Structure formats: structure tokens, C-alpha cells
Amino acid sequence: MEESESSFDMLLLIGVLALFLAIGLPLLIPFMKGDVGGFDVQIEKTAPVTRSMLSANVDPEARQYDSGDALLMLVVADENAPKPGKVRFDRNGTQLEITLDEAFFSNRKQSLETLWTGIPSHAKVDVRLYAGPEGMRYWNFGFAP
């Protein structure tokens, strides 16, 4: 009886191995040849060739602000604007400082219209936050010549 059980176990083992070999070998051959997986491999003829994320430049570019963005910051500012609450427009050495206080918010439209006439439209702006020992002092919008 033991011989029949052990021979049955051996036949079962050979059958399972043959089954796994019949299924696994066709799937394993492309991996061994290097035809499947990874980047820069075209799996189907109609599929575009994939690119590696390592070869692509994923570093973000610094956004270039213009005068419209600077004015938009003042348009959306509210009484809860974070410190420093001051904005300075620096154009060719001429500085205009705006304090985001109650006077600005009560007369915002006229202030923005006056500011809009004084700055060039769609000019490149360098945005910087100046700070001192006591904390943040003002946002500076420097216009490029």
C-alpha cells in the first residue's frame, strides 16, 4: 500500500511540475530574452515606446510672474492677509509701498486703478519677501528693465 501511495505522489508531483512548466515556460521565455518589462520597451507594435522617468527632466521650473499676477495678489487680498501686510512695487528705483490696512480695503478699486496706470502691463516681475530681525517686513515686486 505504501508503494502505491508513494508512486501516486510521485506521479502527482510530475503532473503538477509538467503543468507549471507548460504554463510558466511560455511566460518566462520573453523575460529571459529581455523583451518584456522595464522602460524603453515596445510591448505591442502599435504602442508608443515608453520613456524612463529617470531620463525625463521632472524638476519644476520656476514660474515667471508678471505685473498682472502682482495686481491679482492685491485683488484677492483680504483683511486676514498674513503678515507682513505690506507690498512694495520697485520700478527703476521708484518705490511705491502699499499697506494692506483698512484704508486700502475700503478704497481698493481706486488704489488698484492708480497702481495699474503706474506699472507696465505684462512686464516681468521678480517677487521677493524681505525680512528683518523682527520678522517679515514686506513683499517686493521688482520690475525687470
Q: What is the pLDDT of residue 16?
A: 94
Q: What is the pLDDT of residue 36?
A: 66
Query: What grid cell was written down for 106?
Result: 475700503
| Mean pLDDT in consecutive groups of 10 residues from the start of the chain, 145 residues | 78 93 85 67 59 58 81 80 77 78 85 79 81 76 74
Q: What is the pLDDT of residue 123?
A: 80
Q: What is the pLDDT of residue 132?
A: 74
For the chain, the structural domain boundaries read 1-58, 65-143
- Pairing between β-strand 135-143 and β-strand 86-91 as defined by DSSP bridges: parallel
Q: In what order do the strands lie in the sheet with 86-91?
A: 65-66, 124-132, 135-143, 86-91, 94-99
Do 90 and 141 meet the contact criterion of CB atoms below 8 Å apart? yes
Q: For 127, phi and psi rounded to 5 degrees?
A: -100, 125
Q: What is the pLDDT of residue 102?
A: 84
